Structure 1
Amino acid sequence: MTDTRADTRKAPMIRRARACDEAAILACAEQAYSRYIPLIGRKPAPMLADYRGQIAADQVWIAEDGSDLTGFIVFAPEGDVMLLENVAVLPAAAGRGIGRALIGHCEAEARRLGLRAISLYTNEKMVENIAIYPKLGYIETRRGEEDGFHRVWFEKPL
Protein backbone atom coordinates (compact mmCIF):
# COMPACT_ATOMS: atom_id res chain seq x y z
CA MET A 1 0.00 0.00 0.00
CA THR A 2 1.33 3.43 -0.92
CA ASP A 3 1.40 6.19 1.68
CA THR A 4 -0.34 9.16 0.08
CA ARG A 5 -0.03 11.52 3.03
CA ALA A 6 1.74 14.76 2.18
CA ASP A 7 5.01 15.59 3.85
CA THR A 8 3.90 17.96 6.58
CA ARG A 9 7.38 19.15 7.52
CA LYS A 10 7.50 22.90 7.39
CA ALA A 11 10.37 24.26 5.31
CA PRO A 12 12.78 26.26 7.45
CA MET A 13 12.96 30.00 7.02
CA ILE A 14 16.34 30.80 5.49
CA ARG A 15 17.86 34.24 5.72
CA ARG A 16 21.23 35.92 5.41
CA ALA A 17 23.16 35.90 8.68
CA ARG A 18 23.73 39.11 10.59
CA ALA A 19 26.52 40.02 13.02
CA CYS A 20 24.19 39.30 15.95
CA ASP A 21 23.92 35.64 14.76
CA GLU A 22 27.64 34.90 15.21
CA ALA A 23 27.34 33.33 18.69
CA ALA A 24 24.51 31.02 17.59
CA ILE A 25 26.46 30.03 14.46
CA LEU A 26 29.56 29.23 16.55
CA ALA A 27 27.45 27.17 18.96
CA CYS A 28 25.87 25.28 16.07
CA ALA A 29 29.30 24.53 14.56
CA GLU A 30 30.56 23.28 17.93
CA GLN A 31 27.56 21.00 18.39
CA ALA A 32 27.52 19.73 14.81
CA TYR A 33 31.25 19.04 14.45
CA SER A 34 32.63 18.23 17.93
CA ARG A 35 31.87 14.52 17.49
CA TYR A 36 34.48 14.40 14.71
CA ILE A 37 37.39 15.60 16.88
CA PRO A 38 38.31 12.05 18.05
CA LEU A 39 38.09 10.72 14.47
CA ILE A 40 40.16 13.49 12.87
CA GLY A 41 42.51 14.04 15.80
CA ARG A 42 41.79 17.78 15.99
CA LYS A 43 38.97 20.25 15.47
CA PRO A 44 37.47 20.04 11.98
CA ALA A 45 37.94 23.12 9.79
CA PRO A 46 34.35 24.40 10.34
CA MET A 47 35.09 24.73 14.05
CA LEU A 48 38.02 27.03 13.22
CA ALA A 49 36.33 29.24 10.62
CA ASP A 50 36.21 33.03 10.77
CA TYR A 51 32.44 33.35 10.94
CA ARG A 52 32.61 37.05 11.76
CA GLY A 53 34.47 37.68 8.50
CA GLN A 54 32.22 35.34 6.52
CA ILE A 55 29.10 37.04 7.88
CA ALA A 56 30.54 40.46 7.01
CA ALA A 57 31.25 39.17 3.47
CA ASP A 58 27.58 38.03 3.12
CA GLN A 59 28.61 34.37 2.78
CA VAL A 60 26.53 32.91 5.64
CA TRP A 61 22.85 32.02 5.61
CA ILE A 62 20.90 30.58 8.54
CA ALA A 63 17.86 28.36 8.88
CA GLU A 64 15.45 29.26 11.63
CA ASP A 65 12.56 27.60 13.37
CA GLY A 66 10.72 30.56 14.80
CA SER A 67 13.51 32.74 16.10
CA ASP A 68 15.88 29.84 16.89
CA LEU A 69 18.80 29.00 14.60
CA THR A 70 18.63 25.34 13.55
CA GLY A 71 21.44 25.33 10.99
CA PHE A 72 23.59 27.42 8.71
CA ILE A 73 25.44 27.32 5.41
CA VAL A 74 28.51 29.17 4.13
CA PHE A 75 29.02 29.65 0.39
CA ALA A 76 30.52 32.08 -2.09
CA PRO A 77 31.15 32.20 -5.84
CA GLU A 78 34.65 31.31 -7.01
CA GLY A 79 35.02 31.80 -10.72
CA ASP A 80 32.23 29.94 -12.48
CA VAL A 81 31.34 27.71 -9.51
CA MET A 82 29.75 28.23 -6.11
CA LEU A 83 32.01 26.94 -3.32
CA LEU A 84 29.82 25.44 -0.62
CA GLU A 85 32.25 25.74 2.26
CA ASN A 86 30.20 24.55 5.21
CA VAL A 87 26.74 23.34 6.11
CA ALA A 88 25.81 22.47 9.68
CA VAL A 89 22.60 21.54 11.47
CA LEU A 90 22.08 21.34 15.21
CA PRO A 91 22.00 17.67 16.24
CA ALA A 92 18.63 18.28 17.94
CA ALA A 93 17.22 19.42 14.57
CA ALA A 94 18.72 16.63 12.46
CA GLY A 95 16.44 14.63 10.18
CA ARG A 96 14.02 17.50 9.50
CA GLY A 97 15.32 18.40 6.03
CA ILE A 98 17.18 21.51 7.21
CA GLY A 99 20.51 20.54 5.64
CA ARG A 100 18.82 19.72 2.33
CA ALA A 101 16.94 23.04 2.40
CA LEU A 102 20.17 24.96 3.05
CA ILE A 103 21.96 23.14 0.22
CA GLY A 104 18.96 23.78 -2.04
CA HIS A 105 19.23 27.48 -1.19
CA CYS A 106 22.91 27.46 -2.17
CA GLU A 107 22.08 25.74 -5.46
CA ALA A 108 19.32 28.26 -6.19
CA GLU A 109 21.70 31.16 -5.57
CA ALA A 110 24.29 29.58 -7.88
CA ARG A 111 21.67 29.20 -10.62
CA ARG A 112 20.52 32.79 -10.09
CA LEU A 113 24.12 33.93 -10.62
CA GLY A 114 24.48 31.77 -13.75
CA LEU A 115 27.23 29.60 -12.31
CA ARG A 116 27.98 26.22 -13.88
CA ALA A 117 28.32 24.07 -10.72
CA ILE A 118 28.50 23.74 -6.96
CA SER A 119 31.84 22.61 -5.55
CA LEU A 120 32.35 21.35 -2.01
CA TYR A 121 34.67 19.28 0.11
CA THR A 122 34.35 17.26 3.28
CA ASN A 123 36.73 15.42 5.55
CA GLU A 124 37.26 11.77 4.59
CA LYS A 125 36.37 10.81 8.19
CA MET A 126 32.91 12.34 7.79
CA VAL A 127 31.54 9.24 6.11
CA GLU A 128 27.90 10.33 6.49
CA ASN A 129 28.62 13.33 4.26
CA ILE A 130 30.46 11.22 1.72
CA ALA A 131 27.40 8.95 1.53
CA ILE A 132 24.77 11.71 1.30
CA TYR A 133 26.28 14.06 -1.30
CA PRO A 134 25.95 11.57 -4.20
CA LYS A 135 22.26 11.17 -3.27
CA LEU A 136 21.92 14.92 -3.81
CA GLY A 137 23.52 14.76 -7.27
CA TYR A 138 27.13 15.49 -6.31
CA ILE A 139 29.97 13.59 -7.99
CA GLU A 140 33.24 12.85 -6.21
CA THR A 141 36.03 14.54 -8.17
CA ARG A 142 39.16 13.91 -6.10
CA ARG A 143 40.72 13.13 -2.75
CA GLY A 144 43.78 14.66 -1.18
CA GLU A 145 45.32 16.60 1.67
CA GLU A 146 44.75 20.32 2.13
CA ASP A 147 45.58 22.43 5.18
CA GLY A 148 46.50 19.23 7.02
CA PHE A 149 43.05 17.69 6.47
CA HIS A 150 42.31 14.62 4.34
CA ARG A 151 39.52 15.85 2.11
CA VAL A 152 37.10 14.52 -0.46
CA TRP A 153 35.91 16.99 -3.15
CA PHE A 154 32.54 16.86 -4.87
CA GLU A 155 30.91 18.82 -7.66
CA LYS A 156 27.34 19.13 -8.91
CA PRO A 157 26.76 20.52 -12.40
CA LEU A 158 23.84 22.94 -12.61
Structure 2
Amino acid sequence: MSDDPRLATMEDCPAVEAIVKAAYSHYVPRIGREPGPMRDNYATLIQDGRVHVVERDGAVAGLLVLIPEQETLLLDNVAVAPAAQETGLGRKLLEFAERTARDAGYRSIRLYTNEAMTENIALYSRIGYVETHRGEETGLRRVYMTKILG
Protein backbone atom coordinates (compact mmCIF):
# COMPACT_ATOMS: atom_id res chain seq x y z
CA MET A 1 0.00 0.00 0.00
CA SER A 2 1.46 3.31 -1.07
CA ASP A 3 0.27 6.62 0.29
CA ASP A 4 2.42 8.61 -2.13
CA PRO A 5 0.21 10.90 -4.23
CA ARG A 6 0.77 10.92 -7.96
CA LEU A 7 -0.58 13.12 -10.71
CA ALA A 8 -3.98 11.94 -11.85
CA THR A 9 -4.48 10.68 -15.39
CA MET A 10 -7.64 10.79 -17.47
CA GLU A 11 -8.21 7.14 -16.53
CA ASP A 12 -8.59 8.33 -12.92
CA CYS A 13 -11.31 10.86 -13.77
CA PRO A 14 -14.35 8.62 -13.07
CA ALA A 15 -12.91 7.60 -9.68
CA VAL A 16 -12.07 11.22 -8.83
CA GLU A 17 -15.60 12.33 -9.68
CA ALA A 18 -17.11 9.45 -7.67
CA ILE A 19 -14.99 10.25 -4.60
CA VAL A 20 -15.91 13.93 -4.75
CA LYS A 21 -19.59 13.06 -5.00
CA ALA A 22 -19.38 10.60 -2.10
CA ALA A 23 -17.31 12.95 0.07
CA TYR A 24 -19.44 16.06 -0.45
CA SER A 25 -23.02 14.92 -1.11
CA HIS A 26 -23.93 14.81 2.59
CA TYR A 27 -23.33 18.59 2.71
CA VAL A 28 -26.04 19.33 0.13
CA PRO A 29 -28.91 19.45 2.69
CA ARG A 30 -26.82 21.62 5.03
CA ILE A 31 -25.79 24.10 2.33
CA GLY A 32 -28.95 23.91 0.24
CA ARG A 33 -27.08 23.13 -2.97
CA GLU A 34 -24.05 21.24 -4.23
CA PRO A 35 -20.78 22.45 -2.73
CA GLY A 36 -18.28 23.97 -5.16
CA PRO A 37 -16.12 20.83 -5.51
CA MET A 38 -19.11 18.87 -6.84
CA ARG A 39 -19.42 21.31 -9.74
CA ASP A 40 -15.75 21.40 -10.78
CA ASN A 41 -14.64 20.03 -14.15
CA TYR A 42 -12.21 17.30 -13.12
CA ALA A 43 -11.29 16.33 -16.68
CA THR A 44 -9.96 19.84 -17.24
CA LEU A 45 -8.23 19.93 -13.85
CA ILE A 46 -6.56 16.59 -14.58
CA GLN A 47 -5.48 17.74 -18.05
CA ASP A 48 -3.99 20.86 -16.43
CA GLY A 49 -1.95 18.75 -13.98
CA ARG A 50 -3.80 20.05 -10.92
CA VAL A 51 -5.14 16.78 -9.48
CA HIS A 52 -3.13 14.33 -7.40
CA VAL A 53 -4.50 10.97 -6.32
CA VAL A 54 -3.59 8.31 -3.80
CA GLU A 55 -4.34 4.64 -4.33
CA ARG A 56 -5.07 1.99 -1.76
CA ASP A 57 -5.52 -1.64 -2.72
CA GLY A 58 -5.22 -0.73 -6.39
CA ALA A 59 -8.01 1.86 -6.41
CA VAL A 60 -8.04 5.63 -6.10
CA ALA A 61 -8.93 6.38 -2.47
CA GLY A 62 -8.22 10.09 -2.17
CA LEU A 63 -7.39 13.19 -4.12
CA LEU A 64 -6.31 16.76 -3.85
CA VAL A 65 -6.45 19.67 -6.23
CA LEU A 66 -3.56 22.13 -6.03
CA ILE A 67 -3.54 25.40 -7.96
CA PRO A 68 -0.38 27.52 -8.08
CA GLU A 69 -0.98 31.23 -7.58
CA GLN A 70 1.44 34.13 -7.65
CA GLU A 71 2.02 34.39 -3.90
CA THR A 72 0.73 31.10 -2.51
CA LEU A 73 -0.45 27.61 -3.37
CA LEU A 74 -4.21 27.13 -3.32
CA LEU A 75 -5.38 23.86 -1.81
CA ASP A 76 -8.56 23.84 -3.87
CA ASN A 77 -9.93 20.47 -2.78
CA VAL A 78 -9.07 17.46 -0.68
CA ALA A 79 -11.40 14.46 -0.67
CA VAL A 80 -11.16 10.91 0.62
CA ALA A 81 -13.40 7.99 -0.33
CA PRO A 82 -15.76 7.15 2.54
CA ALA A 83 -14.20 3.68 2.96
CA ALA A 84 -10.76 5.27 3.45
CA GLN A 85 -11.84 8.02 5.84
CA GLU A 86 -10.51 7.93 9.40
CA THR A 87 -7.36 6.11 8.22
CA GLY A 88 -4.98 9.10 8.14
CA LEU A 89 -5.17 9.42 4.37
CA GLY A 90 -6.60 12.95 4.50
CA ARG A 91 -3.79 14.02 6.82
CA LYS A 92 -1.22 12.53 4.43
CA LEU A 93 -2.79 14.44 1.53
CA LEU A 94 -2.65 17.69 3.50
CA GLU A 95 1.00 17.05 4.38
CA PHE A 96 1.74 16.39 0.70
CA ALA A 97 0.08 19.71 -0.22
CA GLU A 98 2.28 21.55 2.26
CA ARG A 99 5.45 19.80 1.02
CA THR A 100 4.49 20.64 -2.56
CA ALA A 101 4.01 24.29 -1.63
CA ARG A 102 7.39 24.41 0.15
CA ASP A 103 9.15 22.64 -2.72
CA ALA A 104 7.70 25.21 -5.14
CA GLY A 105 9.10 28.03 -2.99
CA TYR A 106 5.83 29.20 -1.46
CA ARG A 107 5.86 30.51 2.10
CA SER A 108 2.17 29.82 2.62
CA ILE A 109 -0.70 27.67 1.49
CA ARG A 110 -4.30 28.77 1.40
CA LEU A 111 -7.70 27.19 1.15
CA TYR A 112 -11.34 28.00 1.50
CA THR A 113 -14.26 25.95 2.73
CA ASN A 114 -17.96 26.49 3.04
CA GLU A 115 -19.07 28.31 6.16
CA ALA A 116 -21.49 25.46 6.88
CA MET A 117 -18.67 22.88 6.92
CA THR A 118 -17.83 23.68 10.52
CA GLU A 119 -15.96 20.41 11.11
CA ASN A 120 -13.57 21.29 8.26
CA ILE A 121 -12.97 24.76 9.70
CA ALA A 122 -12.18 23.19 13.08
CA LEU A 123 -9.82 20.63 11.50
CA TYR A 124 -7.91 23.23 9.50
CA SER A 125 -7.61 25.44 12.59
CA ARG A 126 -6.18 22.53 14.59
CA ILE A 127 -3.44 21.93 12.00
CA GLY A 128 -2.29 25.54 11.78
CA TYR A 129 -4.55 27.30 9.28
CA VAL A 130 -5.76 30.74 10.33
CA GLU A 131 -8.97 32.30 9.10
CA THR A 132 -8.20 35.40 7.05
CA HIS A 133 -11.71 36.45 6.00
CA ARG A 134 -15.18 35.33 4.98
CA GLY A 135 -17.12 36.15 1.87
CA GLU A 136 -19.63 35.00 -0.67
CA GLU A 137 -18.50 33.64 -4.00
CA THR A 138 -20.74 32.03 -6.63
CA GLY A 139 -23.56 32.08 -4.10
CA LEU A 140 -21.59 30.11 -1.52
CA ARG A 141 -20.59 31.47 1.91
CA ARG A 142 -16.88 30.75 2.24
CA VAL A 143 -14.27 30.86 4.97
CA TYR A 144 -10.76 31.64 3.68
CA MET A 145 -7.78 30.29 5.60
CA THR A 146 -4.00 30.46 5.26
CA LYS A 147 -1.14 28.51 6.81
CA ILE A 148 2.34 29.96 6.98
CA LEU A 149 4.84 27.24 6.15
CA GLY A 150 7.87 26.81 8.39
Q: Normalized against structure 1, the TM-score is what?
A: 0.91
How far the C-alpha of 1:11 sits from its partner, in A, is 6.1
Take 1:86 and 1:72, find their aligned partners in 2: how far apart are those partners? 8
* Unaligned 5+ runs, structure 2: none
Classify the secondary structure of the residue corresponding to 1:13: coil
Instruction: Name the Cα RMSD after superposition.
Output: 1.1
CA–CA separation in structure 1 for the residues paired with 2:48 and 2:57: 25
Distance 2:146 2:83 in 1: 28
Residue aligning to 1:48: 39
CA contact (8 A) 1:137 1:156 kept: yes
Q: Does 1:138 align with 2:138?
A: no
Counterpart for residue 79 of structure 1: 70
**Counterpart of 2:112?**
121
State the match for 1:149 in structure 2.
140
Larger Rg belongs to: 1
In 1, Cα distance between equivalents of 2:138 and 2:61 = 28
Match of 2:84 in 1: 93
Query: Which letter maps to 2:75?
Result: L
Deviations 1:68-118 (A, max 9, x none): 111100011101200000000111111111111111111111101111210
Q: How many residues align?
A: 149
Say whether the 8 Å CA contact 1:11–1:101 is kept in structure 2: no
Q: In structure 1, how many angstroms separate the alpha carbons of the residues matched to 2:115 and 2:109?
A: 19
Q: Structure 1 residue runs of 4+, over 3 Å off?
A: none
Query: Structure 2 vs 1, CA of residues 11 and 137 (structure 1 numbering), >3 Å: closer, same or farther?
Result: farther
Deviation at 1:66?
2.6
Distance between the aligned counterparts of 1:42 and 1:54, measured in 2? 22
2:86 partner SS: coil
Supply the distance in 1 between the matched residues of 2:66 and 2:107 (Cα, whole angstroms): 15
Matched residue type, 2:19: C
Partners of 2:113 and 2:121 within 8 A in 1 = yes
- Could you tell me how far apart the structure 2 residues matched to 1:28 and 1:38 are? 18
Q: Is the 8 A contact 1:83 1:120 kept in 2?
A: yes
